[in-house]
Amino acid sequence: MANCPKCGKKLRLYHWRPECPFCGVNMVYYNSNDRLLAETERAEIEHAHSQPRIDRAKAAFFGSPAAIARIVLSVLQIGALFLPLGKAAAADPFNVIGVYKAVDAAGGAGAMLGDVFSGSAAALSVLLLLLSAVLWLVCLICLPMSLGPHGRQRNLILNILWLGSAAVSGANFAVRIGTLQIGAFVYLFLISALLVYNCVLAKKGLPVKHTVCLIGGLPSEEYFRMKEDGVSELEIRKKMVEALTVMQNEARAKEAEEEADALRKRAEHA
């Protein structure tokens, strides 16, 4: 069931023709320009709402040298895990590959979790190290969202948890199992350096290049401000027409200038 867009009369299933049986208007084309304009306006409004998030993600990830430096600093930690991390009493030094083999031999992380509750110091260190690796990945995934409403706080909290899990893992290993090797110290140093760098960025901020979004030819800020001020739709549409006319005139002037330049170059080559 539907209603005629002009007279508002209710239509039945047997009213299949495009013309309204009550007022005779063609319902397909009735007010089509206004409907098309309204749909275009809705699409531009959605784009204006989503574009700032995209701008912030770009700025947080690769929008400036400071952001690129953070990306580089964020991926160095994974390399430290391939250096020697620790050495038990009578065993060879091991790195992340040795940790993976130990987890696989124990039957997976779930089995090692049971060993932790049984008091296994080695299982505790291994699981905390794995947790720090997971937190590294989470921090990397959350970087594009770091300029959002709660992005700075989220980044700092994740970095602190990451550093805490790695530090407790290393301390437990050094006290109860064996000695730490160079890889563990490099890993902890790089996490600490990233935490300090994120604190600096949280204080200074990163530059965001905002994309200008147009709604009916009007800048989105102006459009939303008029909506908040209660400006009538008719007045907004008038301003849209004026803005679109100016844009059209500028485009025509630019096109005429390009044609004139092309003619002048041809004349010079002739």
Question: Which of 232, 98, 225, 228 has its CA nearest to residue 173?
Answer: 98
Question: Is pLDDT of 194 > 90?
Answer: yes
Q: Helix axis angle, 182-204 relative to 151-176, nearest 10°?
A: 160
- Quick one: pLDDT band at residue 95, thresholds 50, 70, 90? confident
Residue recorded with tokens 């989470």: 138
Question: Is pLDDT of 270 > 70?
Answer: no
Q: What is the per-residue pLDDT across 63-90, written as a single tens digit (0 to 9) for each? A: 889 999 999 999 998 889 899 998 887 6
CA distance 222 to 228: 10
Query: Which three-class secondary structure state does DSSP give residue 11?
Result: strand
Q: What is the per-residue pLDDT across 161-186, written as a single tens digit (0 to 9) for each? A: 999 999 999 999 999 888 999 999 99
Q: What is the per-residue pLDDT across 40-64, written as a single tens digit (0 to 9) for each? A: 888 888 988 899 899 998 988 888 8
pLDDT average, residue stretch 80-107: 83
Residue 188 has a pLDDT of 94
Q: What is the per-residue pLDDT across 231-244, written as a single tens digit (0 to 9) for each? A: 888 888 888 888 88
Residue 36 has a pLDDT of 76
Q: Where are the beta strands (DSSP E) in the chain?
A: 2-3, 10-11, 86-88, 178-180, 214-215, 218-219
- Quick one: pLDDT band at residue 193, thresholds 50, 70, 90? very high
Q: What is the per-residue pLDDT across 204-262, written as a single tens digit (0 to 9) for each? A: 888 888 888 888 888 888 889 998 888 888 888 888 888 888 888 888 888 888 888 88
Residue recorded with tokens 């096109």: 255
Residue 1 has a pLDDT of 59
- Quick one: pLDDT band at residue 13, thresholds 50, 70, 90? confident
